[in-house]
Structure 1
Amino acid sequence: MSFDLIIFDCDGVLVDSEVISCRAHAETLTRHGYPISEEKVLERFLGVSDREARQIIERETGRELPDDFEAQIKEATLKFYAGDLRAIAGVAAAIDAIDLPKCVASSGTPEKIRHGLECTGLYHRLSPYIFSASEVRRGKPAPDLFLHAANRMRAAPGRCLVVEDSIPGVTGAVAAGMSVLGFHGGSHCLQGHADKLRDAGVTVVFDDMRELPDLVRKAAQKTGPIAGF
């Protein structure tokens, strides 16, 4: 088997942003009467789009959040990005070492994805092949975003390899019929995160981006798309 496309998640895979994003969400939600810690945001909403997280919270509380809630989240996140955001260690070299088409499929908004990649110097490596959950009806854990990315890149789902760090992301990639590598090297990944990825269906996990090019080569030698190849 060989691959025609590598699909990267963004937050927690390309940029070490999940802790920052959770801080922004926790502060904004608490301000609007939904007290929640950064840790709880991470536990409940890792890999979930802002749109779907909002729907979950509104169902729980029985009331609507402000119309500009997503804009408030975005403003808080970008404020923290300016001083705190870093690329995942080794990811730039890993991207450069993989001689295959690549794209991004992220739950973030287009503006957030672009800003994060620009802040970390990764945008030019992956642009313009960047796809957001805002482009599909259902975000992760549905397979829609991955299938949309594959379609836009003219790759068959069974010949795509996804690099994901979240359970919703892994679930969506597996449902799309794609092979998956589970990354657990972001600062948000606590002890046991690798086991959670395995429980979601990934068989190969790693925590150092320097390993990625070799893992892609090994995956290309396997037969048939399965989770974690």
Structure 2
Amino acid sequence: MTDSLKLVIFDLDGVLVDTQDAENGALTHLAHMIGLALTEDEAKVLFSGKKIQDCIDVIEEMAHAACPDGAMAIVRRKCEELVGPSLEPIDGVRYALDEIQVTKCVASNSPRDIIEQRLQAAGIAHIFDGKIFSAYEAGAWKPDPTLFQWAADSCGFSKEECVVIEDSSVGVDAALAAGIRVLLYVPDPSKEPLPYAVTPFSSMWKLPAILQHSLTDTALYPVSGETL
């Protein structure tokens, strides 16, 4: 790792574990319950990285109808049903976590119990040694920078000593607003727009080498959008 890097802050869904499709499926299920013909592809564009309650609000606005009582619980139950009892980490994540020899933490818009449950199911909870930061405890959700600022402060590092690993626009916005360097995980860059002046990378297998060799103090706003 570079001498200036002391903390790697990971998002959860879509970065460490792949539950985005399940969450989008659960939100689509809720939309269908109130007569909104929303596809999972549309849900991905609308909801990626966002707070579930905000997604529910969008569904109600689009449908011009109220969701049933307990909509949040409906979404969470359906999501866990779609995820199932076991959960595989993103390809290459185990290797990356083993190779990155600095402090690591998780900062997610999800509730803490969901973060812990998914890390345990994926068999990687021990790697973070309880360094879990939930937007629900911070009282602020990405793209607000508070969550990442709290994670860095709690782990005892300045923003200049940190890098965020994200896969969503709201996460990138939060990291940049916090003044923290950010790498954007884009597993298929041919299918994803890259509107941000941040460094994209396509494989978790590459992440340790990127952090070792490619990350400099200028990487907050790199001039090249080439995917690593």
* TM-score (normalizing by structure 1): 0.87
State the Cα deviation string for residues 67-118 of structure 1 (Å, max 9, x = none).
4211111111111111674210110111011110110011222222222212
Q: What amino acid does structure 1 have at the position aligned with 2:201?
A: F
Following superposition, the deviation at residue 52 of structure 1 comes to 2.2
SS in 1 for 2:217: coil
Aligned to 1:211: 206
Aligned ranges for residues 70-81 of structure 1 at < 5 Å?
70-81=72-83
Aligned to 2:114: 112
Unmatched 5+ stretches in structure 2: 224-228
Distance, in Å, in 1 between the alignment partners of 2:33 and 2:189 is: 27
Aligned to 1:2: 4
Q: What amino acid does structure 2 have at the position aligned with 1:138?
A: A
Distance, in Å, in 2 between the alignment partners of 1:27 and 1:127 is: 35
| Distance 1:71-1:226 versus aligned 2 partners, 3 A rule | same
The number of equivalent residue pairs is 221
Q: What amino acid does structure 2 have at the position aligned with 1:123?
A: A
Percent identity, please. Answer: 30
Distance, in Å, in 1 between the alignment partners of 2:210 and 2:36 is: 42
Coordinate RMSD, CA, aligned: 2.2
Unmatched 5+ stretches in structure 1: none
Distance, in Å, in 1 between the alignment partners of 2:63 and 2:144 is: 24
> Deviation above 6 Å: which 4+ runs of structure 1?
none
Aligned to 1:47: 49
| Distance 1:138-1:62 versus aligned 2 partners, 3 A rule | farther
Distance, in Å, in 1 between the alignment partners of 2:189 and 2:82 is: 21
Distance, in Å, in 2 between the alignment partners of 1:58 and 1:156 is: 40
Structure 1 contact 177–225 (Cα < 8 Å) conserved: no
SS in 2 for 1:205: strand
Q: What amino acid does structure 1 have at the position aligned with 2:174?
A: G
